[in-house]
Amino acid sequence: MSVSVQEADFDVGAEITALSAGRAEVGAVASFVGLVRNAGHGNAVAAMTLEHYPGMTESALAEIVVEAQGRWPLQGVRVIHRYGRLLPGERIVFVGVASAHRGAAFAACEFIMDYLKTRAPFWKLEETPEGAHWVDARESDDAAASRWEESWEAIDQRR
Amino acid sequence: MTELNILYFASLREALGCSGERLSLPEGVSTLGALREHLAARGEGWAALAAGRNVRAAVNQRMAGFDAPVAPGDEVAFFPPVTGG
């Protein structure tokens, strides 16, 4: 398990390869890459600046990964989140998950992204022709994260 | 340490015109909510911390509810809902 919060870009291919390197028990690697869009909420976006809370951001991401490892049998997890000023098309976030089977890999990857969106302290400032503005949190992100809480309860009930 | 280390992030940092401060724990303040109320009462831009505003907080780098206790030496952070990913 490895978490990085960094300004630098990352190599998606190398990260995916590393998740299964030397681990013959890995049968599935699922990954997600988040990119800066050129439009948000009807505005043209010229650039986006990501602010974070050094220290807490890393520990919040690590905690999300530990929670994922408690829910699914995972052989490897890699999370990279960038900060600083990024242009449309640039990569923001990478989540890669290795497991024996695809079900766990897909689910854990989506779970980590959903929790990251609502629990990791990052904030986006969008630059548009009308000026810079902070992106508002979306209720749909809270809803996406909370569906995992429901399923966690369902898991508990089955125990 | 007898002081709190308080940090402000993103739009809240801009509204307050300040990224952080060291503060002696005010008398009668023992929870995050009471601290928030104390700060909001400074007036002007500090109203951004007032009840009803969408503010989140952390104590010692963990997300915390406003009923969480605060003590001297704690690192407290106030910020808007997160928007990463």
The CATH number of whichever domain residue B48 belongs to comes to 3.10.20.30
In a domain, B84, yes or no: no
CB B47 within 8 A of CB B34: no
B26-55 burial string, b = 16+ CB within 10 Å, else e?
eeebebbbbbbbbbbeeeeebebbeeeeeb
User: Where in the sequence is the domain holding B39, given as residue range(s)?
Assistant: 3-79
Q: Is the ipTM of this complex over 0.85?
A: yes
In a domain, B57, yes or no: yes
Contact between chains at B83 and A124 (C-beta distance less than 8 A): yes
Read off the pLDDT of each residue in A73-92 and give the average, rounded to a whole number.
98
3-class DSSP assignment, residue A63:
helix
Residues pairing with A95 in the sheet: A32, A79
pTM confidence score: 0.92
- How many domains are contained in chain B? 1
- Closest A-chain CA to B8: A53
pLDDT at A18: 98
Identity of the residue in B14, B54, B85 whose CB atom sits nearest the CB atom of A117? B85
| Rounded CA separation B6/A159 (Å) | 42
Does the pLDDT value for residue A131 go beyond 90?
yes
Residues pairing with A4 in the sheet: A80
What is the per-residue pLDDT across B3-41, written as a single tens digit (0 to 9) for each? 999 999 999 999 999 999 999 999 999 999 999 999 999
